[in-house]
Amino acid sequence: MILAGDVGGTKCNLALFETGQGTLRRVVHRRFVSKDYTHFEEIVGEFLEQVLESGLGGDRGKITSAGFGVAGPVVNYQVRATNLPWLVDGASLARFLGMERVVLLNDLAATAYSLELLHTSELFTLNAGTPDPHATKALIAAGTGLGEAILFWDGSRHIVAATEGGHADFAPRTDQEIELLRFLKKRYAHVSFELILSGRGFRTVHDFLDPAVKHAGFDDPAADPAPEITRLALERACPVCVQTLDLWTALYGAEAGNLALKTLARGGVYVAGGIALKILPKLKDGTFLRGFTEKGRFGILMEQIPIQVVLNEDAPLLGAAAQALGGAGT
């Protein structure tokens, strides 16, 4: 039995997988609200208690390996979570689980390792392009934060490299985006792409476009306004929300294109994360692709790069489980 975790700023997903006939099968899955816990081991303990009580295989003696994808850079076998006051320590987790070692990965690296395990039905093609299967690939995922990863071809397989590219400087392209940068500079010393291309970015863009327009969810400081904004935009019920989603999606495409250019990702770009699934109709309408391909004289090259949306929300868990099974990872 393999214990796998996807540790994010909003939620932590934990699951048990079993292997058979060369595949990983999920046996049990639980979701936890990250902010309700003071440290990650508390969640792991509660998960194991739940599955043990349910009789679904939570006996610690049956767990032979474990892998965890965590939102943040892995340094010295530890991750100081980017959007949580947590230090996730691999050695401490191994002791807690009674194992010699656990696999600790950046969450986007975990997702990247899942890509070769996904079925075609778990991917939606935004741009067919002209794929080169032995070229570099890239992965981008907006959620609580903005994650990016690179998959380099080593001659026999793709090797995953984690990055913190989501925290790179926001690069405006239009007069409107320049004004957005000025707006953000009044609030933040450093304006990264993640400030916009994340869940909290929808309210930020909405306030930039028209701060006078408010919605019901805006009055609750504990509520996430992103679902309301995106829903009203997709329903075309609020003009400001429509403009917000337009601008947000164009910038998402632009940053995905930036990543593709920097890595020459002719093998393809994958778009993952919870937001992509929620706004998939918008991603399909061409706004994302225009942002991706509008790169001056490199526009033709960009049009040749395949773009696929990852439809399986459990991809980080699957990748973490696969790496735990293979014993790879920091």
pLDDT tens for each residue of 13-48: 999 999 877 789 899 999 999 999 999 999 999 999
Residue 100 — left, alpha, or beta (φ > 0 → left; ψ -120 to 50 → alpha)?
A: alpha
Q: What is the pLDDT of residues 138-193, one digit of tens each?
A: 999 999 999 999 999 999 999 999 999 999 999 999 999 999 999 999 999 999 99
Q: What pLDDT is recorded for position 211?
A: 95
How many whole angstroms separate alpha carbon 4 and alpha carbon 67? 5
Q: Which pair of tokens denotes residue 178?
A: 């320049």
pLDDT band at 132 (very low <50, low <70, confident <90, very high): very high
DSSP labels for 238-252?
-HHHHHHHHHHHHHH
pLDDT at 265 over 80: yes
Give the C-alpha distances (Å, rounded to integers) separating 135 from 186, 267, 305.
41, 5, 11
pLDDT at 131 over 70: yes
> In the chain, what are the domains?
2-106+314-326 (3.30.420.40), 165-310 (3.40.367.20)
